[in-house]
């Protein structure tokens, strides 16, 4: 600006405005200007920014966090002019404010372009950390420090590193940054590059990074793959920790790569020979062998025959005698057992085993020790509406049907005579090994009862009339015997006579002989007799031979003629 030889007051004001700035545009105040360090006094630097007075700035504002300021006389620095003149006549300057304003300008530009910014973590605050972005202080939430939780932040502090600006508000002075976003983006790029280099079926080494209940994550050099517990070994693995540990280097095969989700499935057992090859020939049906119980479920137990080969013993194939019990009450984990191969399905990798088939059949053993007709004893285990269950040796039960408990009384009355826990004797009537049934009889042990399976009734035929001797008189009928050593049987009360007054058992005496008809045999071949049936048969015969009531003759006349003819 040209000046006149004799400047006026206005000229002087114009020159001052040109140097300091006019009041209209605010002058130097609120602006970042360049200044020169003229002196260093104690903990402050004296800086000349071209104003009528110098300003003082603390040396700590020129130092990085915990680092020396490195400032010397003659250095040029940028400072922020807060006020041109304070009460002491000095300019109020700020190096921090200058750096902050410059940083905000730069950050707004980079935030708009989506660029990363450089910064250093220098402090800890509630919920996160503070980051110096070359003058501007930003907040780093704890969740945005790393991809995984970081226990110790110390190794990351004071190190220049990239951040991603998530949010900016210059008016409030708020900046939120993320280190995690940068790591995820970088990892995604690395993962994509690594995935392009990998192929299914490839064998590669990796390091175990993490173990879960369902498998382990293996670092393949920047990208993780999942090694599922079922792909660790052909043998049963209850937890991955049984096979590998964190930090182990393992050789794995890439089973599957999903390019969209960038997930990689790994396997270890695929590098071993398959033990199921030829398992059908190795374990033929009917073969007995030893194994170890590896797992117990509600429906059975798994038995390991060799490494990688397991078979299932279904609960129904575990015991001959213990029915409807939990498998854990029969076998225990790690127990050595002998089993029999029942079925092999190589395609489905299944082997059905039997535990009881490797043991002797208790019903067959019982039949060998106690043939039909032999006497056994046992405790009444249970009484049902149709009979009694008797506990026998060999841990098997036999059943006495209600009709085989006692002679001369109804089955219901016979059942009422016995209680649970009572010790009784019985005769073996039949043993069905296949159906696991033993039929017993108790009345066959009574005096005069026929021998089970004997031939004492061989000479009797249904409909035959024989003379029997009364052995015992009961309310329900008569216990009788054919001849002196013949078969014994029973005459029910309703079969003692055709008429009701003849159906009284008290009109008979022990030792009395009575003619009766054989009307049938029970399942023990013991005959049943009937006086009534004999009477009806004789009447029918008489009517047929001597006339009928239709011809005018009375039944008495006919029977009289029949008796005369018989005489």
Alpha helices in 382-529 (DSSP H): 411-415
pLDDT value of position 298: 92
**CATH homologous superfamily for the domain 198-271:** Nucleic acid-binding proteins (2.40.50.140)
What does the alpha-carbon distance between residue 51 and residue 185 come to, in Å, rounded to a whole number?
49
The stretch 200-212 carries a mean pLDDT of 90
pLDDT 10s digits, 98-156: 777 777 878 888 888 888 888 899 999 999 999 988 778 899 999 999 988 888 888 89
HEC profile for 109-166?
HHHHHCCEEEEEEEEEECCEEEEEECCEEEEEEHHHCCCCCCCCCHHHECCCEEEEEE
Question: What is the topology classification, in CATH, of domain 362-445?
Answer: OB fold (Dihydrolipoamide Acetyltransferase, E2P) (2.40.50)
The stretch 513-526 carries a mean pLDDT of 79
Domains 362-445 and 465-544 share a fold: yes
pLDDT value of position 263: 87
pLDDT at 163 over 70: yes
pLDDT-based confidence at residue 292 (cuts at 50, 70, 90):
very high
pLDDT value of position 25: 37
The stretch 173-181 carries a mean pLDDT of 90
Question: What is the topology classification, in CATH, of domain 114-184?
Answer: OB fold (Dihydrolipoamide Acetyltransferase, E2P) (2.40.50)
What does the alpha-carbon distance between residue 315 and residue 353 come to, in Å, rounded to a whole number?
10
pLDDT-based confidence at residue 275 (cuts at 50, 70, 90):
confident
What does the alpha-carbon distance between residue 444 and residue 489 come to, in Å, rounded to a whole number?
11
CA pseudo-torsion sign 114, 116, 118, 120: positive
pLDDT-based confidence at residue 564 (cuts at 50, 70, 90):
low
* SS3 state at 81: strand
pLDDT-based confidence at residue 557 (cuts at 50, 70, 90):
low
**CATH homologous superfamily for the domain 28-113:** Nucleic acid-binding proteins (2.40.50.140)
Q: What percent of the chain has pLDDT over 90?
A: 23
HEC profile for 313-372?
EEHHHCCCCCCCCCHHHCCCCCCEEEEEEEEEECCCCEEEEECHHHCCCHHHHHHHHCCC
pLDDT value of position 501: 84
Q: Give the single-character DSSP code of 486.
A: S
pLDDT value of position 408: 65
Domain positions in the chain are: 28-113, 114-184, 198-271, 279-358, 362-445, 465-544
Taken as a whole, the chain contains a residue count of 567
pLDDT-based confidence at residue 407 (cuts at 50, 70, 90):
confident
The stretch 389-396 carries a mean pLDDT of 88
pLDDT value of position 353: 93
Q: What percent of the chain has pLDDT over 70?
A: 85
pLDDT value of position 245: 92
540 Cβ partners below 8 Å, 6+ apart? none
Q: What helix, strand, coil percent values describe the chain, rounded to 5?
A: 25, 35, 40
pLDDT-based confidence at residue 180 (cuts at 50, 70, 90):
very high
What does the alpha-carbon distance between residue 147 and residue 167 come to, in Å, rounded to a whole number?
19
pLDDT-based confidence at residue 21 (cuts at 50, 70, 90):
very low
User: Are 527 and 489 contacting, i.e. CB atoms less than 8 angstroms apart?
Assistant: yes
pLDDT at 336 over 80: yes
What does the alpha-carbon distance between residue 231 and residue 266 come to, in Å, rounded to a whole number?
8
pLDDT 10s digits, 24-54: 334 667 677 788 878 888 778 787 777 777 7
The two structure tokens encoding residue 243: 């096979």
Question: What is the topology classification, in CATH, of domain 465-544?
Answer: OB fold (Dihydrolipoamide Acetyltransferase, E2P) (2.40.50)
The stretch 520-542 carries a mean pLDDT of 82
What does the alpha-carbon distance between residue 102 and residue 288 come to, in Å, rounded to a whole number?
86
Rg of the chain on CA atoms, in Å: 55
The stretch 159-187 carries a mean pLDDT of 88
What does the alpha-carbon distance between residue 444 and residue 429 come to, in Å, rounded to a whole number?
9
The stretch 283-304 carries a mean pLDDT of 91
Question: What is the topology classification, in CATH, of domain 279-358?
Answer: OB fold (Dihydrolipoamide Acetyltransferase, E2P) (2.40.50)
H/E run at residue 532: helix 531-546
What does the alpha-carbon distance between residue 557 and residue 548 come to, in Å, rounded to a whole number?
10
pTM over 0.85: no
What does the alpha-carbon distance between residue 302 and residue 300 come to, in Å, rounded to a whole number?
7
What does the alpha-carbon distance between residue 322 and residue 5 come to, in Å, rounded to a whole number?
129
């Amino acid at each position: 600006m040209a000046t006149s030889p004799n400047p006026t007051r206005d000229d002087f004001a114009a020159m001052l405005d040109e140097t300091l700035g006019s009041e209209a545009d605010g002058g130097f105040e609120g602006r970042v200007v360049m200044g020169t360090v003229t002196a260093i006094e104690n903990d402050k630097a004296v800086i000349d920014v071209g104003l009528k007075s110098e300003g003082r700035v603390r040396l700590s504002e020129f130092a990085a966090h915990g680092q020396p300021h490195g400032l010397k006389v003659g250095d040029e620095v940028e400072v922020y002019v807060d006020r041109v003149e304070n009460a002491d006549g000095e300019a109020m300057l700020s190096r921090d404010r200058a750096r902050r304003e410059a940083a905000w300008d730069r950050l707004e530009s980079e935030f708009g372009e989506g660029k990363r910014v450089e910064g250093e973590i220098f402090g800890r605050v509630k919920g996160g950390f503070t980051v110096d972005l070359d003058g501007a202080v930003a907040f780093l939430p704890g969740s945005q420090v790393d991809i995984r939780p970081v226990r110790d932040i110390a190794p990351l502090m004071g190190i220049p590193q990239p951040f991603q600006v998530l949010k900016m508000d210059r008016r409030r002075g708020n900046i939120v940054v993320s280190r995690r976003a940068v790591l995820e983006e970088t990892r995604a790029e690395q993962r994509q590059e690594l995935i392009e280099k990998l192929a299914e079926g490839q064998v590669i080494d990796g390091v175990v990074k993490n173990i879960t209940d369902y498998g382990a994550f293996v670092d393949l050099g920047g990208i993780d793959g999942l090694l599922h517990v079922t792909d660790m070994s052909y043998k049963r693995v209850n937890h991955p920790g049984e096979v590998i540990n964190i930090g182990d280097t393992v050789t794995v095969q890439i089973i599957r790569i999903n390019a969209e989700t960038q997930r990689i499935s790994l396997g270890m057992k695929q590098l071993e020979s398959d033990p199921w090859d030829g398992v059908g020939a190795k374990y033929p049906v009917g073969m007995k062998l030893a194994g170890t119980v590896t797992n117990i479920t509600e429906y059975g137990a798994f038995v390991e025959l060799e490494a990688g080969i397991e078979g299932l013993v279904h609960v129904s194939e575990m015991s001959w005698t213990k029915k409807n019990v939990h498998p854990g009450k029969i076998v225990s984990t790690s127990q050595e057992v002998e089993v029999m191969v029942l079925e092999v399905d190589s395609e489905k990798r299944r082997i059905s085993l039997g535990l009881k088939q490797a043991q002797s059949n208790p019903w067959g053993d019982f039949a060998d020790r106690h043939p039909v007709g032999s006497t056994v004893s046992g405790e009444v285990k249970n009484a049902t509406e149709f009979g009694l269950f008797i506990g026998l040796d060999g841990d098997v039960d036999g059943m006495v049907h209600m009709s085989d408990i006692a002679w001369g009384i109804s089955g219901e009355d016979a059942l009422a005579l016995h209680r649970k826990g009572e010790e009784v004797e019985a005769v073996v009537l039949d043993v069905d090994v296949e159906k696991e049934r033993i039929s017993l009889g108790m009345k066959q042990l009574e005096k005069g009862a026929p021998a089970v399976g004997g031939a004492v009734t061989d000479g009797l035929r249904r409909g035959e009339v024989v003379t029997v001797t009364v052995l015992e008189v009961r309310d329900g009928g008569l216990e009788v015997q054919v001849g002196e050593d013949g078969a014994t049987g029973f005459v029910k009360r309703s079969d003692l006579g055709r008429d009701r007054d003849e159906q009284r058992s008290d009109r008979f005496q022990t030792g009395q002989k009575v003619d009766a008809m054989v009307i049938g045999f029970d399942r023990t071949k013991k005959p049943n007799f009937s006086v009534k049936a004999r009477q009806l048969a004789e009447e029918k015969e008489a009517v047929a031979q001597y006339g009928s009531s239709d011809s005018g003759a009375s039944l008495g006349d006919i029977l009289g003629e029949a008796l005369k003819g018989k005489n």
